[in-house]
């Protein structure tokens, strides 16, 4: 049985239980709706609001290295601290935060396999107490990993040269919907998909409990659709959170080196004038 390329990028629920009181581990729940965190969360976990905390408002972009470092400082993260992200929707926005951390050059980060869903299914402890930690003066010394992110012009220049993976639902891919039913707030101007994109919904990479499928199963899933490590691969969805989940699978679990997340995704591409679109 094939092992993940980077198994150390994941932690299990059992591992986390053993490290909840470890001062060198900081657990952070990330979501676009923090009401679940307020109702109950993993003990000693902090809560980040994906939109309020990670975005450089009023622009549609993320905080830079300095802004991300400030968030980590406030969370009490020091040079020797390992950050473990988790969240709902099988780690949608936790994977987003993980990808952003790696993009901004912060390496001491892991993802809880299965996220909040698996933790709840196992009936593990949830608390409402919000922890506090002494702030640090952490700085991010690593360079921005620009190869992990693509922008509009990168996408347009690679339409015939890269493998595009549309990780949205088949209904969104076919142009029958613009957004998942429970997330209608940010939509493109037209429906459809990038020409030639493979439709491999993010959820196919997950087990019923939210954990990732085995390396062999993932290789078969993506390889069967022609998504291979020898070509540059670009993952996208609607706003980049589901595609961050797929980026994690391809880059961190399968070890594909030439894979990037297009976080502008269909909300941007589907609003551009004059670009090719397929239904």
Cα 221 to Cα 73: distance, rounded to the nearest angstrom: 39
- What is the per-residue pLDDT for 184? 63
Domain residues of the chain, as ranges? 7-144, 147-269
Q: Which two tokens stand for residue 32?
A: 């676009």
Please give the span between the terminal C-alpha atoms of the chain, in angstroms, as a whole number. 38
- What is the per-residue pLDDT for 275? 96
- What is the per-residue pLDDT for 197? 97
Single out the catalytic residue among 237, 244, 249, 254.
237
- The sign of the dihedral angle between the CA atoms of 191, 197, 203, 204 is positive
**DSSP letters for 64-107:** -HHHHHHHHHHTT--TTPEEEEE-HHHHHHHHHHHHHHHHTT--
- What is the per-residue pLDDT for 183? 64
Q: Which two tokens stand for residue 117?
A: 């869903």
Model pTM score:
0.95
Identify the H or E element spanning 142: none
Q: What is the pLDDT along the chain (279 residues), one digit of tens a residue?
A: 689 999 999 999 999 999 999 999 999 999 988 899 999 999 999 999 999 999 998 988 999 999 999 999 999 999 999 999 999 989 999 999 999 999 999 999 999 999 999 999 999 999 999 999 999 999 998 899 999 999 999 999 999 999 999 999 999 999 988 887 766 656 788 999 999 999 999 999 999 999 999 999 999 999 999 999 999 999 999 999 999 999 999 999 999 999 999 999 999 999 999 999 999
Question: Could you check whether 7-144 and 147-269 share the same CATH topology?
Answer: yes
Cα 83 to Cα 45: distance, rounded to the nearest angstrom: 10
Q: Does the N-terminal peptide bond of residue 58 adopt cis geometry, omega within 30 degrees of 0?
A: yes
Cα 103 to Cα 153: distance, rounded to the nearest angstrom: 18
Q: Residues near 132 by Cβ (< 8 Å), separated by ≥ 6?
A: none
Look at residues 145, 200, 132, 204 and name the one whose alpha carbon lies nearest to residue 172. Answer: 200
Q: Distance of CA 181 to CAs 1, 130, 184, Å?
A: 38, 31, 6
CATH of region 147-269? 3.40.250.10
Cα 39 to Cα 37: distance, rounded to the nearest angstrom: 5
CB 5 within 8 A of CB 249: no
Whether 237 is catalytic is yes
The three-state secondary structure class of 198 is strand
- What is the per-residue pLDDT for 1? 67
User: Topology of domain 7-144, per CATH?
Assistant: Oxidized Rhodanese; domain 1 (3.40.250)
CB 204 within 8 A of CB 169: no
């Amino acid at each position: 049985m094939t092992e993940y390329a980077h198994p150390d990028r994941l932690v299990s629920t059992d591992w986390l239980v053993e490290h909840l009181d470890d001062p060198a581990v900081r657990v952070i729940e990330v979501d676009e709706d923090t009401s679940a965190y307020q109702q109950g969360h993993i003990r000693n976990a902090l809560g980040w609001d994906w939109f309020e905390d990670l975005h450089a408002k009023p622009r549609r972009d993320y905080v830079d290295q300095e802004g991300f470092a400030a968030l980590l400082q406030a969370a009490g993260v020091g040079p020797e601290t390992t950050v473990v992200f988790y969240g709902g929707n099988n780690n949608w926005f936790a994977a987003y935060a993980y990808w952003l951390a790696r993009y901004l050059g912060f390496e001491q980060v892991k993802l809880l396999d299965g996220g909040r869903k698996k933790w709840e299914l196992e009936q593990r402890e949830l608390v409402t107490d919000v922890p506090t930690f002494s702030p640090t003066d952490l700085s991010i010394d690593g360079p921005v990993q620009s190869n992990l992110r693509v922008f509009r012009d990168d996408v347009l220049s690679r339409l015939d040269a890269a493998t595009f993976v549309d990780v949205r639902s088949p209904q969104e891919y076919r142009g029958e919907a613009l957004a998942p039913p429970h997330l209608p707030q940010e939509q493109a101007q037209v429906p459809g998909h990038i020409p030639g994109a493979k439709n491999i919904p993010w959820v196919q990479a997950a087990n019923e409990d939210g954990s990732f499928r085995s390396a062999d199963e993932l290789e078969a899933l993506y390889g069967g659709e022609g998504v291979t490590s020898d070509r540059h691969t670009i993952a996208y969805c609607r706003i980049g959170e589901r595609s961050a989940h797929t980026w994690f699978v391809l880059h961190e679990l399968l070890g594909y080196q030439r894979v990037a997340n297009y976080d502008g995704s269909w909300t941007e591409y589907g609003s551009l004038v004059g670009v090719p679109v397929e239904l």
